[in-house]
Amino acid sequence: MTTPITFWRSIEELRAQSDVAGGRDCLAALRARGQQPAVPSRRDFLSLAGFSVAAAAFSACSRGAEQKAIPFLNQPEGMTAGVDNWYATTCGGCRAGCGLLVKTRDGRPIKIEGNSQSALSGGGTCAVGQATVLSLYDEERLEGPLWQGRPASWTEVDARIEELLSPGGARPKRIALLSRTVLGPATRALVAEWSAGRGLRHIVYEPISLAALRRATRAAFGVDAIPHFGFGRARTIVAIEADFLGTWLSPVEFTRDYASGRRPEGAAAMSRHIHFESSLSLTGSNADLRVPIAPSEQGAVVLGLLRRIARKLGAGDPVEALETTFDARALDIAAEDLWQHRGESLVVCGARDFDTQIVVHAINALLGNIGRTVDVDLPSLQQMGDDEAMAQLVDDMRRGEVDALILYGVNPAYDYPRADRFVQAMKQVPLTVSFSDRLDETAALADAVCPDHHFLEAWGDAEPVASSFSLAQPTIRPLFDTRAAQDSLLKWLGRQPDFYAYLRDHWRRALYPRQQQFATFDEFWDRALHDGVFALPESRTARAARPLMADWRRSAERIRSSAQTSRAWHEGRFEAHVYETVALRDGAHANNPWLQELPDPVTKVTWGNYAVVAPAVATRLGITAGDVVSLEGRNLHAELPVWVQPGQSPHAVSIALGYGRSRAGRVGSGLGTNAFPLLAGDGQASVPSLAITRTGRHEPLAATQTHHSMEGRDIVRQISPAAFVDRALDPHEVEEAASLWPARPAAEHAWGMAVDLNACTGCSACVTACQAENNVPVVGKDEVRRGREMHWIRIDRYYTGGEDDPATVVQPMMCQHCGNAPCEPVCPVLATVHSSDGLNQQVYNRCVGTRYCENNCPYKVRRFNWFDYANNGRFDFNMNSPLGRMVLNPDVTVRSRGVMEKCSLCVQRIQAAKLAARQEERMPADGDIRTACQQVCPAEAIVFGDLNDPASRVARLAKSPRGYRVLEQLGTRPSVHYLAKIKNAPDGDRS
């Protein structure tokens, strides 16, 4: 007989031919046993059919995906499922220490709002503050302590650290604590205790340091701090390279204060703001007169002012003038204005040069502003960085004179200008401990990482300005096995690691005695904890002027001489200029997608930094926005795309700080270029210079606005004060265009909004607030490039005038909730209709996504879900992780793919307020309802309310002589009213 042919498909199979029963070919196995493969019988068929039918039937009974909804077994005290709880705390987003109210739902903090009780920051916050709640749910956070890079238990880590810190041995251990400015008095006390007990050396390090200003203040007034500036009281504000509305010192407080001094309807005359800077900043874009200067000219500006003021004082010319690249008449105007308002004027300067700051103090002193707009009695404690100490520490570390280094909230391996030297130095330190919440550039090199709580999980306090205190309390039980830095310090000090007790005790000892308001400490504590803020009475008393102790003449002389050193642009190079962006600041929040996707208030670019050059320069070099250039400088060799910025000094190339993180996390790592090296060397005397060469590559920037002229259209109205006075006389009624149809019956409400373009600075906090409140998805760099960002509110920014020195206007633009909405009649399925109380509603689950409404919207405020943005790997941001989704607002639907969405005027808040009012059997009062954008605005530029109620704020604002509506002539009858901007230009009616 013939042997059966055996086929094989692979060597393995061939070799395995022996074990035919090896399941590779069961028929073969059967054949080998001389059997026939089983032919299914009728019985088998029936049984199988029966099974499959039954299976089909049962599968049809399934309920689909299971969702966990676990009720409270025993309900926590004072918490009801689905009802908000609010806690007062202090913001840890930056060192400004604004007071916050945190909205928690079912134990999760989901929204941050300003604490209106705070005398400093008020009810407003900034974009960063808004976004900090998302950092809480950052997947990159460490879930427990690390020893030598691997997870360890707290006991183990503590044991090792305590062993290494123990004073045993020949000499006491030299321990250094390197921290950011410590705002909390209690924490400061704790650190002081360490210093006393263990000879701890505490170095305060600020990556973007105001040390020069602080030193100058110490020299000038003997106060080791930064003066507390009062922008609200100043009638004339002259700022030199100080972006005080966006990033400088305490933006929220300053914005609020600044806006309060610029209300044309107000009793006092509107303040005038003159700004000298190299690159158009948020603050500069709001100035009444803005002068582009080269970075090395800050000294020249202050000298120019000093000379003019001194002359007016009859003090002669302290120092001869410096030639400037800008029109010196601006200095005459500024000096004249300052002189006119001496005593109620203010000069601030962001220079990192001691002498310049001395001269600025001198000018303020000569103008008699000290004690009025410049408060040195109760100074700001928000920026206590000390550059010399830091440099000294690095040297000592390199020399091996530091036995242990504790890093608290700092990341010098990234943001120290000489990061490489610091990293070297770190290697010489036997023990380095980091409190970082993630494995960032520095923590990655540390022996131990003892992750600190997120500030929303921790106890704490703050004293941002002397005698103004605020408390921080946990709003959620720690998500991970983290420990408060203070607890760690207490533990290693051999104390009970209970910072809460320590904090309470410190307030009992240090603060309670200083107030008379409360009889018992418990009352005092409960009240302070409830309000979140507490101000000592003296914070409200008037200040006396202080004598100027420093010799400003010598400083002036030094400035003049140092300025003689040849300027970079003479050799065809450019002066490097670095700045903070409103969104990313110093880069600590680089992994926060909300901030990465927040359009820069001026450039409107998201996701990454770029080299900002002046239009003239761009033309000269033949480059346009997005062209990649290589920058060569002493400390920086980088290639990055160009942004052509009107108003940029032709001598400066500006690069934003906070980018180029290598270990920020999934979202923030590898975006842009790190510009901190450019900060090396202090002061203007040594402004680093850069050479630009084209690479020929092009890398389109993700900008949300690509056209910057209003094309002569009546979109943002701007009038001069004079014109405003004339207009104020004639009464203004909101007149409607004639209609062919009978008006629909009026309902009980007509919700509307008023946006004061004069108050709005364009800081964009509202954009992030809206994103947080309304679950607006993050779409990422590519989608923004395609023009698909999802923000419900945007800040339109237009330039007027020449491109070298343009005037800037901004306009918050959200759904206008038109009375005759063009988007409504075109929807085939009635997915967008008008509510009886004047809202233009979008019905997500009815929408089929024809996008006709988007096309027909004159304001282009509608946003389409091009993809699924939640639970989608293509968009790996917070909505793609269970942790990140904890931030979502349960009151707002997460939109699915293929539906249109847009601003709803926070309808969930309207409904909540109506419900609350109904329960109290009353109508919702004016001010009950505050939309997210209104609530967050530090300048109080946005007012929401009922246009039907003539007494409501919004109704009165709508009738303001400045009131108008965008594209009114189309007959869309928008419910959003705008108040024209007033440009208080020195040369009268320039508007």
Partner 1 sequence: MASQCLVASFADPDSLLAAVTAIRARGIKVYDVYAPFPVHGLDQAMGLRPSRLGFVSLAAGTLGLLAALAFQFYANVFDWSMNVGGKPDNSTLAFVPITFEITILAAGLATAFAFFLRAGLFPGASAALAAPGVTDDRFAIVLRWKSTGLEATEAHLILRERGAIDVRHVAIGAER
Partner 2 sequence: MTPGVAAPLQAVRGGARGSVLIDQPTRLRRITDDVARPLETRPGGAWCACFGVAFAALSLGIGCVAYEIATGIGTWGLNKTVGWAFDITNFVFWVGIGHAGTLISAILLLFRQRWRTSINRAAEAMTIFAVVCAAMFPLIHMGRPWLAFWVLPYPNSRGPLWVNFRSPLLWDVFAINTYLTISLVFWYVGMIPDFATLRDRTAAGARKTIYGLLSLGWNGSHRTWSRYETLCTLLAGLATPLVVSVHTIVSMDFATSILPGWHTTLFPPYFVAGAVYSGFGMVTTLLIVTRTVMHLEAYITERHLDAMAKVMLLTGSMVGFSYGTELFAAWYGGNQYEWAVMFGRAVGPYAWAFWTMVACNVAAPQLLWSRRVRASVPALFVLSLLVNIGMWFERFVIIVTSLHRSYLPSTWVIYRPTFIEIGTLIGSFGLFFTCFLLFIQCLPMIAIWEIKGDAAIGPSTALRAGPSTELKAGPSTEFRAGPSTGLRAGGGEAAHG
Identity of the residue, 513 or 742, whose beta carbon is nearer to partner 1 in the bound complex: 742
Q: Should residue 822 be labelled a site residue for partner 1 when binding is judged by CB under 8 A? A: yes
Q: Should residue 974 be labelled a site residue for partner 1 when binding is judged by CB under 8 A? A: no
Least distance between partner 1 and beta carbon 812 (Å):
24
Least distance between partner 1 and beta carbon 818 (Å):
8
190 and 459 Cβ atoms separated by less than 8 Å? no
| Total H helices, total E strands in the chain | 28, 39
Q: How far apart are CA 536 and CA 965, in angstroms?
A: 45
Q: How far is CA 555 from the centre of its chain?
A: 36
Q: Which entry of partner 1, partner 2, none binds 927, CB below 5 to 8 A by partner kind?
A: none
Report the 3 state secondary structure along 131-180.
HHHHHHCCCCCCCCCEECCEECCHHHHHHHHHHHHCCCCCCCCCEEEEEC
Q: Which of 289, 821, 879, 980 binds partner 1 (CB under 8 A)?
A: 821
Identity of the residue, 734 or 833, whose beta carbon is nearer to partner 1 in the bound complex: 833
Applying CB under 8 A, the span of 654-662, 791-799, 816-824, 931-939 interacting with partner 1 comes to 816-824
Identity of the residue, 295 or 819, whose beta carbon is nearer to partner 1 in the bound complex: 819
Site string for partner 1, 706-745 (x = CB under 8 A): ---------------------------------x-xxxx-
Q: Which entry of partner 2, partner 1, none binds 119, CB below 5 to 8 A by partner kind?
A: none
Identity of the residue, 103 or 973, whose beta carbon is nearer to partner 1 in the bound complex: 973
739 and 820 Cβ atoms separated by less than 8 Å? yes
The overall longest dimension of the chain from CA atoms, in Å, is 129
Residue 311 phi, psi dihedral angles, 5° rounding: -60, -45
Q: Which entry of partner 2, partner 1, none binds 854, CB below 5 to 8 A by partner kind?
A: partner 2
Identity of the residue, 70 or 740, whose beta carbon is nearer to partner 2 in the bound complex: 740
Identity of the residue, 854 or 928, whose beta carbon is nearer to partner 2 in the bound complex: 854
Identity of the residue, 31 or 708, whose beta carbon is nearer to partner 2 in the bound complex: 708
Q: Which entry of partner 2, partner 1, none binds 362, CB below 5 to 8 A by partner kind?
A: none
Least distance between partner 2 and beta carbon 714 (Å):
10
Least distance between partner 1 and beta carbon 971 (Å):
9
Q: Which of 251, 683, 819, 945 binds partner 1 (CB under 8 A)?
A: 819
Least distance between partner 2 and beta carbon 976 (Å):
13
Identity of the residue, 500 or 852, whose beta carbon is nearer to partner 1 in the bound complex: 852
Least distance between partner 2 and beta carbon 804 (Å):
21
Least distance between partner 2 and beta carbon 708 (Å):
8
Question: Beta 942-946 vs 236-240: how paired, if at all?
Answer: unpaired
Q: Which entry of partner 2, partner 1, none binds 684, CB below 5 to 8 A by partner kind?
A: none
- The candidate with the shortest Cα–Cα distance to 814, out of 832, 837, 839, 834, is 839
Structure tokens belonging to residue 595: 């901030």
283 and 581 Cβ atoms separated by less than 8 Å? no
| Binding region for partner 2 (CB under 8 A) | 705-713, 715, 783, 786-789, 794, 796-798, 811, 813, 822, 825-830, 846-852, 854-856, 858-860, 862-868, 897-900, 966-967, 970, 972
Identity of the residue, 329 or 744, whose beta carbon is nearer to partner 1 in the bound complex: 744
Q: How far apart are CA 91 and CA 588, in angstroms?
A: 14
694 and 627 Cβ atoms separated by less than 8 Å? yes
Site string for partner 1, 920-959 (x = CB under 8 A): ----------------------------------------
Q: Which entry of partner 1, partner 2, none binds 828, CB below 5 to 8 A by partner kind?
A: partner 2
Identity of the residue, 252 or 795, whose beta carbon is nearer to partner 2 in the bound complex: 795
Applying CB under 8 A, the span of 19-27, 178-186, 713-721, 827-835 interacting with partner 1 comes to 827-835
Q: Which entry of partner 1, partner 2, none binds 343, CB below 5 to 8 A by partner kind?
A: none
Q: How far apart are CA 245 and CA 268, in angstroms?
A: 21
Applying CB under 8 A, the span of 144-152, 300-308, 620-628, 825-833 interacting with partner 1 comes to 825-833
684 and 578 Cβ atoms separated by less than 8 Å? no
Identity of the residue, 207 or 806, whose beta carbon is nearer to partner 2 in the bound complex: 806
Q: How far apart are CA 411 and CA 205, in angstroms?
A: 10
Identity of the residue, 116 or 739, whose beta carbon is nearer to partner 1 in the bound complex: 739
Strands, DSSP E only, in 619-761? 627-633, 637-644, 652-656, 689-698, 702-703, 718-719, 751-756
User: How big is the site for partner 1, counted in residues (CB under 8 A)?
Assistant: 18
Burial of 548 (0-12, 13-18, 19+ CB in 10 A): middle
Least distance between partner 1 and beta carbon 61 (Å):
36
Q: Which of 14, 53, 269, 830 binds partner 1 (CB under 8 A)?
A: 830
Q: Which entry of partner 2, partner 1, none binds 819, CB below 5 to 8 A by partner kind?
A: partner 1
Which residues 832-861 are close enough to bind partner 1 by CB under 8 A? Answer: 833-836
* Integer-rounded Cα radius of gyration of the chain: 32
Residue 276 phi, psi dihedral angles, 5° rounding: -110, 125
Q: Which entry of partner 1, partner 2, none binds 742, CB below 5 to 8 A by partner kind?
A: partner 1
Identity of the residue, 612 or 839, whose beta carbon is nearer to partner 1 in the bound complex: 839
Least distance between partner 1 and beta carbon 741 (Å):
5
Q: Alpha helices of 449-580 — where are they, by DSSP H? A: 485-492, 499-506, 521-531, 552-564
Q: Which entry of partner 2, partner 1, none binds 384, CB below 5 to 8 A by partner kind?
A: none
Q: Should residue 49 be labelled a site residue for partner 1 when binding is judged by CB under 8 A? A: no
- The candidate with the shortest Cα–Cα distance to 238, out of 352, 334, 370, 336, is 334
Residue that has been written with the tokens 């003239």 in this structure? 616
Least distance between partner 1 and beta carbon 836 (Å):
7
Least distance between partner 2 and beta carbon 941 (Å):
18
Q: How far apart are CA 368 and CA 680, in angstroms?
A: 35
Position 558: which residue type? Answer: R
* Angle at 165 (CA atoms; ends 160, 169), nearest 5 degrees: 110
Least distance between partner 2 and beta carbon 966 (Å):
8
Q: Which of 973, 977, 981, 983 binds partner 1 (CB under 8 A)?
A: 973
Sheet with strand 533-535: strands edge to edge: 226-229, 374-380, 460-465, 468-472, 533-535
Position 182: which residue type? Answer: V
What are residue 689's DSSP bridge partners?
575
Identity of the residue, 488 or 972, whose beta carbon is nearer to partner 1 in the bound complex: 972
Query: Residues of 309-344 as b/e, b for ≥16 C-beta within 10 angstroms?
Result: bbebeeeeebbeebebebeeebbebbbebbbebbeb
* Angle at 760 (CA atoms; ends 759, 761), nearest 5 degrees: 110
List % helix, strand, coil for the chain (3-state, nearest 5): 30, 20, 50
Residue that has been written with the tokens 């959003």 in this structure? 976
Identity of the residue, 713 or 860, whose beta carbon is nearer to partner 1 in the bound complex: 860
Q: How far is CA 433 from the centre of its chain?
A: 28
Q: Which entry of partner 2, partner 1, none binds 788, CB below 5 to 8 A by partner kind?
A: partner 2
Q: Which entry of partner 1, partner 2, none binds 973, CB below 5 to 8 A by partner kind?
A: partner 1
Q: Which entry of partner 2, partner 1, none binds 690, CB below 5 to 8 A by partner kind?
A: none
Q: How far is CA 418 from the centre of its chain?
A: 26
Contacts with partner 1, residue ranges (CB under 8 A): 739, 741-744, 819-825, 830, 833-836, 973
